[in-house]
């Protein structure tokens, strides 16, 4: 039972354009959402997060949008740069109190082309 879904396994975007990565979840108890970026042979790196009491969080070129009614979140990267090419994982938590369990999606591989 995949509670966090990233339905696009891959995405290709031109340098300078916007990258939009999508994530859907099914568990209404989730109240905190995170995006991680992962390069080959490295562990995931935290990118940005959002609490369920907000609908938008911005950090430089990265913005995360949360639509609670649709159980959908998205990560916008503007402008996209070649160094952004990586696998992006959406993660959620909230149904385990203060415990640190994160539920991850299967990832979207972003390729930013010149």
Among 19-27, 55-63, 73-81, 90-98, which window interacts with another protein (CB under 8 A)? Answer: 90-98
CB of 20 to another protein, least distance (A): 20
| 80/108 with CB nearer another protein | 108
Spatial CB neighbours of 11, under 8 Å, sequence gap ≥ 6 = 19, 21, 108, 109, 110, 111
Specify which residues 98 forms β-bridges with: none
**62 contributes a contact to another protein by CB under 8 A:** no
CB of 17 to another protein, least distance (A): 26
**54 contributes a contact to another protein by CB under 8 A:** no
Spatial CB neighbours of 59, under 8 Å, sequence gap ≥ 6 = 48
């Amino acid at each position: 039972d995949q509670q966090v879904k990233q339905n696009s396994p891959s995405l290709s975007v031109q340098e300078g354009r916007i990258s939009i990565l999508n994530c859907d979840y099914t568990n209404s108890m989730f109240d905190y959402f995170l995006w991680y970026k992962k390069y080959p042979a490295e562990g995931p790196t935290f990118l940005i997060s959002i609490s369920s009491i907000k609908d938008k969080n911005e950090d430089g070129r990265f913005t995360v949008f949360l639509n609670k009614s649709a159980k959908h979140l998205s990560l916008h990267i503007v402008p996209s740069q070649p160094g952004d090419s990586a696998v992006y994982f959406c993660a959620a938590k909230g149904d385990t109190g203060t415990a640190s369990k994160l539920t991850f999606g299967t990832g979207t591989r972003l390729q930013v082309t010149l």
